[in-house]
Structure 1
Amino acid sequence: MQLDELREYQRKLFENNNFTYKRYFHKTINLNKKLVGIVGARGVGKTTYLLQYLKELDLPFSKKLYISADIITIPSLFEVANSFSKEEGEVLIIDEIHKYKNFEIELKKIYDLLNLKVIFSGSSALSINNAKADLSRRARLYSVYGLSFREFVELEKGIELPAFALEDILTNHIDIAYKLLQKFNLTLLFREYIKSGYYPFYFEDKEDYLIRLNETINTVIEVDIPSIFPIDYSSVQNLKKLVRLLCESHPYTPNIKELLAKMDMKDNYKGLYRFIEYLSRAKIFTTLKPASKGDNIFVKPDKIYLNNTNLHYAYCSHNNTGTLREVFVASMLSQAHTIQAAKKGDLLVDEKYTLEVGGKNKKYKQIKDIPNSFIVADDIEVGSGNRVPIWLFGFLY
């Protein structure tokens, strides 16, 4: 593909990109470095963000270029970048870079030899610590997440709402909830978010959202994961089967032997652990592992969740209310906090806060003797004492 074709494609994208809302990461991503990477689950808005940035960048059209590695047919990313640089280009965006084989080598070459700022995006499963060309010392990598409940309400109602630090929510939740509830009606919006509000493309086609989400997850399993990890067709089918098995469970403390039997994997422990890791890296699963075991993938997780509540509605034939509650809290916390399974209670956050997640009648006795412990309660609008409304965790970002 020649530069003129790429620019025509970019011009059409600019014309069709009318999404004006600015996600939370517009304020947190620093694009001043020469090489910046943005990774996240498929559908969370990476491409939209990149097009917004490039469209608004105060540079002539000729000095900024967007290319998508999943649609261009070129022998070398470097050659495109080199041609663009020779025409005095300044900012190059490479979207979906995980689709390009040996992208690490190409990026290293661009970084070392050309005077270009490069911003790339890719799957959340992407790693830049590759032996082929370790980019970790050159690139600043940011992870981005789906819509928070706060962002969803802003988009749905056309209003601006503040985000709050976790400590503020835990200590000042009564006053925070009271002020927020003066601005919107909670119950219907929260139910809608739990079912359909995590991925921004909900606002493009609400009616067929869950169908599109199911297709998106299938694409992640069938295309994105195999483009990063060495797996074959039968493994792709096993990944789908593993997702369905998780749907059938409550907040899941995995029985590895039982899973191996259901997956027809005999004693292939390492294979199963790899599948769990692939789905976790791709943001289909959230896994809570013992802190003492570090990042070793061959360690049994304490719990496995689907990554967000919308995945339950897209992929599972039935849903457990208790599971959805825990999944929501974990998905909101994971953006900026470390989460582990608590010895007492449900979640241990930042090795400091113990959370017990449940309905409005959840009792405090299980965690009453634990410092910094809180009930996270569904079906209440305003809490009291250490009983915090669950919906407020949607205002962490």
Structure 2
Amino acid sequence: MDQLLEKSAQLVENVALSRRRYLYTVINWKNRLIGIKGSRGTGKTTMLLQRLNQLQLPPDQASYWSLDDFYFNSNTLVETAEQFYKQGGTHLFLDEVHKYENWSVQIKNLYDFYPKLNIVFTGSSIIDIARESGDLSRRMLMYQLHGLSFREYLEFNNILEYPALKLSHILLPNRNWAALFPENFRPLKHFRDYLQYGYYPFSLEDKQGYATRLQQLTRLIVEYDMAEIKGFDIRNAKKILQLLSILAANVPFQPNITAIATKSGIHRNTVVQYLHYLEQAQLIRLLYPSGISVALLQKPEKIYLDNPNLAFIFSEQSPNTGNLRETFFLSQVAVGHQIAYPKKGDFLIDDKYTFEVGGKDKTSKQIKNILNAYVVADNVEFPVTKLPLWLFGFLY
């Protein structure tokens, strides 16, 4: 166990503290059992190490363990944690739990047997706590970490610091947004950059190699992370990547399941199920009509990529501008809000607000006579009669 404690101490000592994700202040760190799930590359590990650093406890009391460490090939989590607890350990931060067999049962046992042990764990976005055999859902607080918002991107690149906004604030009538931001702030230039390489925090390290790294990340999600989904046949990983390329070339679109099956080589009866798997893996987003309950094998009304950055890695051609606009809006508003496909307009938020997303010349014709309907315009910094698209990147 000493080697685990040494690794933990080194990682905590070297973690960057200047930037904290939006979720850091949302989490109730006092809870005894906390889960954080999210896609690869969104910053889950960094968040654990930052919290560990904040505790200011020695490694024999508070420690970070990655469960894909070679140490756990020959040592069990329960036995190691028992030793840690008996030697005075009070806080365990467990990373990559989905890599450990029967992880939910093990964590449940630690929670039940050691009442003074606080556990925070992270796992892939494909984790379905409700289906895990450990029955952790009644014992824990679960959080989802998404990619960088446009607001976070600006802050982490030392461009602008600004508090997160509520949707109700953005929708206030006659708001003079230009007066509420610094006079020299020009959002559109930075907005274009964000759409291409701003969603994943590793863009802060290397923008030139961002596309290559994002391609590698996508392949890892499909070939390794999705293998953890019950019912997913890993032998179809290549077909899944082909399916992603097909979707990326056409999104946003209303799916023709038969056509998708023919192009991807995936059986028609399996396509809808695999679309749900891709959504679990945070690679696409599925939109359904308002007013219906969503079943697992139900065909979505519309398909989007999970975030605009993904649109740049599946094609040598420039992504469709309308696609980027709608994908951005969906990726930002989906954090904290319910989104459905309306009869008129592009998006229905929380069963109340209808939005039509377009360029600076977009009119309200398509949402005329609809209550609580708004036009969201791109290519304009501070419109007077419309809502600026980039502003929805300040919701978290």
TM-score category, normalised to shorter length: over 0.9
What residue in structure 1 maps to residue 162 of structure 2?
Answer: 161
1:235 aligned onto 2:236: yes
Number of the residue aligned with 1:303? 302
Would you say the 8 A contact 2:325–2:357 is kept in 1? yes
* TM-aligned CA deviation for residue 84 of structure 1: 0.7
User: 2:186 touches 2:381 (CA, 8 Å); kept in 1?
Assistant: no
Q: Alpha-carbon deviation of 1:263?
A: 2.0
**How far, CA to CA, are the matches of 1:204 and 1:262 in structure 2?**
37
**Contact residue 287 and residue 341 of structure 2 kept, 8 A:** yes
The answer as to 2:207 corresponding to 1:206 is yes
Question: 2-side partners of 1:64 and 1:261: how far apart?
Answer: 53
Q: CA contact under 8 A between 1:339 and 1:348: conserved in structure 2?
A: yes
State the partner residue of 1:9: 7
CA distances 1:20-40 after superposition (whole Å, capped 9, x unpaired): 212111111112111110011
Cα drift, residue 177 of structure 1: 4.1
Residue type of the partner of 1:50? L
Deviates more, 1:167-176 or 1:22-31: 167-176
Amino acid in structure 1 at the alignment position of 2:164: A
Q: Is the 8 A contact 2:249 2:314 kept in 1?
A: no
**Residue of 20, 28, 31 corresponding to 2:29:** 31
Equivalent residue, structure 2, for 1:91: 91
Distance 1:189 1:330 in 2: 19
Total equivalences in the alignment: 392
- Give the aligned partner of residue 337 of structure 1: 337
Matched, 1:215 2:184: no
Query: Once the 2 structures are TM-superposed, how far is the Cα of residue 363 of structure 1 from its aligned partner?
Result: 1.7
Deviates more, 1:134-143 or 1:70-79: 70-79
C-alpha deviations, 1:169-223, integer Å up to 9, x for none?
A: 1225742343225252222211110100011111111211111111111111111
How far 1:292 moved relative to its partner? 4.3
SS of structure 1 residue aligned to 2:340: strand
Give the match for residue 355 of structure 1. 355
Which letter maps to 2:233?
D
Q: Aligned partners of 1:162 and 1:173: how far apart in 2?
A: 20
> 1:88-237, aligned counterparts within 5 Å?
88-114=88-114, 115-130=116-131, 132-157=133-158, 159-172=160-173, 174-182=175-183, 184-237=185-238
Structure 1 residue 57, shift from structure 2 partner: 0.7
The 2-side partners of 1:206 and 1:283 are apart by 22
Counterpart CA distance in 2 for 1:321 and 1:209 is 20
1:173–1:383 Cα contact (<8 Å) kept: no
Which stretch of the first structure deviates more once superposed, 45-54 or 19-28? Answer: 19-28
| Alignment check: 8 A CA contact 2:37 2:122 kept | yes
1:395 maps to 394
Alpha carbons 2:308, 2:327 under 8 Å: kept:
yes
Give the Cα–Cα distance (whole angstroms) in 1 for the partners of residues 164 and 86 of structure 2: 44
Partner of residue 43, structure 2: 45
* Cα separation, 2, equivalents of 1:183 and 1:121: 40
Counterpart amino acid of residue 130 in structure 1: R
- The alpha carbon displacement at 1:144 in A equals 1.2
Alignment-derived partner of residue 376 in structure 1 = 376
Equivalent pair of 2:251/2:303 in contact (CA under 8 Å)? no
Please give the per-residue CA displacement for 1:313-368, whole angstroms capped at 9, x wherever unaligned: 12333311000000000000011101111110100010111111110111211101
TM-score under structure 2 length normalisation: 0.95
- Say which is worse superposed, 239-248 or 8-17, in terms of deviation: 8-17
RMSD (CA atoms): 1.6
Letter in 1 for 2:275: I
Which deviates further from its counterpart, 44-53 or 176-185?
Answer: 176-185
Aligned partners of 2:353 and 2:45: how far apart in 1? 35
Aligned CA distance change for structure 1 residues 83 and 291 (closer, same or farther; 3 Å): farther
CA contact 1:289–1:299 (8 Å) conserved in 2: no
Q: Distance in 1 between matches of 2:79 and 2:51?
A: 24
**How far off its partner does 1:264 sit?**
2.3
Percent of aligned pairs with the same residue? 40
Q: Pick closer, same or farther for the CA change 1:123–1:82 going to 2, 3 Å.
A: same
In the alignment, structure 1 segments of 5+ residues that lack a partner are none
Q: CA deviation at 1:133?
A: 1.8
Does the CA-based 8 Å contact 1:340-1:348 persist in structure 2?
yes
What amino acid is aligned across from residue 369 of structure 1 in structure 2?
Answer: N
Residue type of the alignment partner of 1:395: F
